[in-house]
Amino acid sequence: MRRLFCSSSVARHDNPLGLPRRTTAPSPTIPRRQSGLPKKRKIANVRRVVAVASGKGGVGKSTVAVNLAFALAMHNRRPRVGLLDLDLFGPSIPKLMGLERSGEPHLTDGGALVPLMNHGMPCMSMGFLLPSSAHASNEDTPVVWRGLMVQKAVQQLLFDVDWSGTISSSNEISERARETGLDILVVDLPPGTGDVPLTLGQLVEVDGSVIVSTPQDVSLSDVRRGVAMFRKVGIPITGLLLNQSLYTCPTCHTPHHIFGPPTRFREVASGMGVDVLGEMPVVPGVGEGGDKGVPFMLSGDGAEDGAEEWRKVMGGVAGKVWDVLRLDE
């Protein structure tokens, strides 16, 4: 099947991703009258949903989302974990997962999107759906949409993706995966408090969220707004994660708080009554791995200063998220 995707506002508002008409029940929509908000529901074939958000862009949120997903997958219970990139205007998951040139995803017989796979993890992103031109890859293709189309595209990415199976290199679906689906879906949200997190909070039963920040006050002020919004739409906040907390000099092995001390971050978290999940050090290999499409949690490089500590902190964050999800129930 072929989609009829269009990246401009001329595309149909009720089907911006150009998906075939579903033969199953339609996805929920948000009524224009505020008196008739829909009831939140589960995503099909997904037991738990964890959102990774930030008030401000450029704090490493997408990198955290990808590595958190793999840290959760490494839990001793070996849960089935997937990634959903809801950053429509600046999708990062294709690059971070090494799938930026993977082409468009397949469709099921019912017209649902089949997630792409790398490093053993299924993922879906707007970046997989953007058309490419003869002169450039789809990395240069902008999405020029207004609010209604953004909301509908988010609804389609939430409810028109088939998480029931895992695609192998031969494009065959594992029968065991088809029967069980995902234990955890990690959702990478765009920064800010716009249409995307609002749509997620209104339509989906979200089980937890991690809000990423850096130590600067300009980032923390946006964190407070993000926490307030999540509480307003009923998204439970698992905790805050401080990224780029400190840098350890490779020659003198002395830690430096190059973006400011974490004191203010801890005060903000305490004042809002939100737990601090961890404080991530600055490790150059994290960014280098992301550029290569290899998440740092999967990298065997432990010689770099701070690498072992970084993975330890991320593993601890995943452990705290796991405890909140209560998958044993």
Residue 310 has pLDDT above 50, yes or no: yes
Q: Alpha-carbon distance 28 to 226, whole Å?
A: 24
Most confident region among 17-31, 178-192, 293-307 by mean pLDDT:
178-192
**Which of 125-134, 202-211, 314-323 shows the lowest mean pLDDT across its residues?**
125-134
pLDDT, mean of residues 50-66 = 94
pLDDT of residue 10: 45
Q: Alpha-carbon distance 26 to 266, whole Å?
A: 44
Q: Which residue has the tokens 């993000």?
A: 226
Give the long-range contacts of residues 76-80, CB within 8 A, separation 24 or more: 77/327, 79/183, 79/184, 79/327, 80/166, 80/177, 80/180, 80/181, 80/182, 80/183, 80/184
**Is 306 or 309 the better-scoring residue by pLDDT?**
309
pLDDT, mean of residues 292-306 = 81
pLDDT, mean of residues 186-190 = 97
pLDDT of residue 174: 41
Q: Largest Cα–Cα distance of the chain, in whole Å?
A: 63
pLDDT of residue 102: 86
Cβ atoms of residues 210 and 241 within 8 Å: yes
* Number of C-beta neighbours around residue 287 at 10 A: 13
pLDDT, mean of residues 131-158 = 78
Residue 68 has pLDDT above 70, yes or no: yes
Q: Which amino acid is at 196?
A: V
pLDDT of residue 139: 72
User: What is the pLDDT confidence band of residue 133, given thresholds at 50, 70 and 90?
Assistant: low
> Strand runs (DSSP E) across the chain, as ranges?
46-54, 81-85, 116-118, 121-125, 182-188, 208-213, 239-242, 247-248, 255-256, 276-279
Residue 307 has pLDDT above 50, yes or no: yes
Q: Residues with Cβ < 8 Å from 313, sequence gap 6 or more?
A: 278, 279, 280, 281
Q: Alpha-carbon distance 158 to 23, whole Å?
A: 17
pLDDT of residue 22: 66
Written as six digits, the tokens of 106 are 């397949």
Helix (H, G, I), strand (E, B), or coil: what is residue 62? helix
pLDDT in tens, 2-55: 454 554 444 567 788 878 876 566 666 655 555 566 789 999 999 999 999 998
State the CATH class of domain 54-129+145-164+179-325. alpha beta
**Is 254 or 37 the better-scoring residue by pLDDT?**
254
What is the enclosing helix (H) or strand (E) of 198?
Answer: helix 195-203
Average pLDDT score, the chain: 86
pLDDT of residue 195: 92
pLDDT of residue 132: 65
pLDDT of residue 29: 62
- The C-alpha R_g of the chain, in whole angstroms, comes to 19
Cβ atoms of residues 64 and 212 within 8 Å: yes
**Which of 59-73, 92-106, 302-316 shows the lowest mean pLDDT across its residues?**
302-316
Q: Where are the domains of the chain?
A: 54-129+145-164+179-325
User: What is the pLDDT confidence band of residue 79, given thresholds at 50, 70 and 90?
Assistant: very high
pLDDT of residue 315: 96
0.75 exceeded by the pTM? yes
pLDDT of residue 142: 76
**Is 198 or 303 the better-scoring residue by pLDDT?**
198
pLDDT of residue 301: 63
Cβ atoms of residues 122 and 83 within 8 Å: yes
pLDDT of residue 279: 96
Q: Residues with Cβ < 8 Å from 216, sequence gap 6 or more?
A: 259, 260
